[in-house]
Amino acid sequence: CGKNWHRPSRKQLFGNVQSTSINENETASSQSPEPEAKVTRSGGAMDIPSMDDGFASDSLLGDTLPEFVLTNLLGKDRMAYTAPSPIQRHCVPLALAGHDVLASAQTGSGKTVGFLLPLIASVAKDRR
C-alpha cells in the first residue's frame, strides 16, 4: 500500500524550546502598557543572544552591517530607527549568524526589515 507515516514530536521538530515575554510595543511612545508578546526560540542556535543593545554601532550589527545600511537605518533624515522591534531583536542576529529563521508576527511588526537586514549584509559582503 504505502509507507507508514508517523507524526514527529514537537521536540523532534524543534529541539529544546526557550520562551521569554517581551513588550510588543517597547519602542512605541504610548502611555499605556501594551500586552506582552511571547517569543519562542528553539533549535540549535540558543547560544546566539538577541539584539538587546539595539542598533548601536558597537553591537553585533555594527560589525556585521555595512556602513551604508546603518546610515540609512539610523539617520534622522532617513528611516530614523531608534530601536529594533521584538521580531527584529530576535531574528536578525540568528540570520546574520547564518541560521535559518521561521518567524511569525503581526502586520506592521517589522518582519520585512528583520528579513532584509541580514540579506543586504550578505549581498554586500559577497560584493567586496
Identify the CA nearest to 23 among candidates 72, 75, 86, 77.
Answer: 86
For 127, residues 6+ apart whose C-beta sits below 8 A from its C-beta are: none
Q: Which amino acid is at 88?
A: Q
Q: Is the pLDDT of residue 20 over 60?
A: no
Average pLDDT, the chain: 75
Q: Is the pLDDT of residue 109 over 60?
A: yes
C-alpha 127/C-alpha 11 separation (Å) is 39
User: Residue 61 — pLDDT band, cuts 50, 70, 90?
Assistant: low
Predicted local distance difference test score (pLDDT) of residue 29: 37
Supply the angle between the helices 67-74 and 111-127 in degrees, to the nearest 10: 150
Q: What is the pLDDT of residues 40-52, one digit of tens each?
A: 778 878 888 888 7
Q: Using an 8 Å Cβ cutoff, are 112 and 81 in contact?
A: no
* Whole-structure pTM value: 0.64
